Amino acid sequence: MIKVRVAPSPTGYLHVGNARTALVNFLFARASGGRFLLRLDDTDTERGRPEYEQAIYEDLRWLGLGWDETARQSDRYARYAECAEVLKQSGRLYPCFENEDELAAKRASLIKRKLPPVYDRAALAMTASQRAAAEAGGKRPYWRFKLSEGMAAWHDLVLGERKIRFGAVSDPVLIRADGTPLYTFTSVVDDVDFGISHVIRGEDHVSNTAVQIDLFRAISTAMPPRFAHLPLISGGEGEKLSKRIGSISLKSLRKDGIEPEALAAYLARLGTNKDAQILPMADLIGRFNIADFGRSPPRFDARQLLVLNRKCLHAASFSAVRDRLPEGADEAFWLAIRGNLDMLTEARRWWEIVTGEITPPDMPGDEAVLRAAADTLPPAPLGAESWKIWTAAIMAASGVKGRALYHPLRLALTAEDQGPEMAGLLPLIGHERVLARLGRFVV
């Protein structure tokens, strides 16, 4: 059984990097008939917040991702303690007492000698009486995992063959001095217990993978999961993305008016050589292949996302957006403006233009055209053909045509240089409001 997991920490809002990892895991699971686990890594009680947890659920559902199971690391402390005890008894988990200053001095000394700054396992040489004396003196041990000799090797489903020699890696700390377990440890225990077959995550975890493969073998007789590491997304200027950059959080993208179908389409192909297409989720699943992802870090291009977003909106039915439009907006309004939107939030501005007050600029030299417009406006109610009839009458009365005719009318009626077709906007503005807006230019 294929089973994958996504493991966000409720210490901030999901950003596009998190979302891409979650989406790829979801697509991989669904494409292979497998299961998708949502695991909350919620052991950081200082930075974790209930609102961040709720936002994780909302963001994933908004993106169209459903999960088959949920788990919380905060519910599993007893299980972590049980596994830790097994490792202690086998000699693979050993206590250490060096403080940060002592460790920093050791690293500096090794670097000065041009040696890898790897922990020297000095704690393993301590006798039982020395450890007892350290604890009697007030020191509390933290616990390191003793790595095996040799190396960890695996075939990465994205990066290809990977090897990391354990001699170049420090024995990792698995349990802090206060007794709380660290991610490297808890994640492996969870993957063992929940039967995770494939771990798909960011390339920044590659070094963790070697350690976790060794740890997996120390606590289980099962085969370790297979791994796929996606190159990290960079920003538009090549900078690393972070959940602390609010401008690219899913929360802010949703607030700005990005459609979930557009974001899913973009992220599903980001890092592949295939062009993103707006497709139903079922089609994204059917066309998914983990082998499509390359080894180079892709860049998050907001312009490409906006292109997809426009396509979504231009094809969206009124029923699909009704609940997110300004109160009172009807289907005629939506059909008139949708072809001009980059993001749905822009609809509010156009609603204000057709129903509220506007402040057009001064237009010296256009008075004759606008006076002719006021004199030739067709009677109420204005309809689908009114714009064509009206502009023909203005042209006949003033002798003005082309941009010299259409641009002043658009500015006077919308205060905008460009926008949706005026033929659709004119009936929405209405006869009375059109006359009022032209009146300020007619003496």
CATH number at residue 148: 3.90.800.10
Report the run of H or E that residue 309 belongs to, with start and end: helix 302-315
Name the token pair of 79: 């299980």
- Residue pair 351/326 in contact (Cβ under 8 Å)? The answer is yes
**Does 257 lie in the same domain as 406?**
no
Task: Identify whether residues 282 and 338 lie together within a single domain.
Answer: no
Alpha-carbon distance values, 216 to 3, 169, 184, 188 (Å): 16, 17, 10, 6
* pLDDT tens string 25-60: 999 999 999 999 999 999 888 898 999 999 999 999
102 shares a domain with 55: no
Tokens in use for 281? 């989720």
Q: How many domains does the chain have?
A: 3
Quick: pLDDT tens for 129-174. 999 999 999 999 999 999 999 999 999 999 999 999 998 999 999 9
CA distance 172 to 119: 9
**Per-residue DSSP letter, 70:** E
d(CA 28, CA 348): 38
Asked if residue 320 is part of any domain, the answer here is: no
Predicted pLDDT at 46: 87
Calculate the alpha carbon distances from 206 to 99, 141, 149, 156, 356 in Å. 27, 28, 19, 10, 56
Q: Which amino acid is at 389?
A: I
The answer to whether the beta carbons of residues 422 and 409 sit under 8 Å apart is yes
pLDDT at residue 44 in the model: 87
* Residue 246 pLDDT exceeds 70: no
Is residue 339 domain-shared with residue 211, that is, in the same domain?
Answer: no
β-bridge partners, 160: 156
Q: Quick one: pLDDT at residue 237?
A: 63
**Residues 99 and 158 occupy one common structural domain:** yes
Q: What single-letter DSSP state applies at residue 413?
A: H
Give the three-class secondary structure for 229: strand
Domain match, 418 and 335 both? yes
CA 413, 414, 418, 424 torsion: positive or negative? negative
Q: Are 302 and 349 members of one domain?
A: no
- What percent of the chain is modeled with pLDDT above 70? 97
Q: Please tell me whether residues 60 and 191 are part of one structural domain.
A: yes
Q: What is the pLDDT of residues 367-388, one digit of tens each?
A: 999 999 999 999 999 999 999 9
Do residue 359 and residue 398 come from a single domain?
Answer: yes
Average pLDDT over residues 305-325: 96
Give the domain range for residue 151.
78-175
Q: Are 16 and 267 in contact (CB under 8 A)?
A: yes
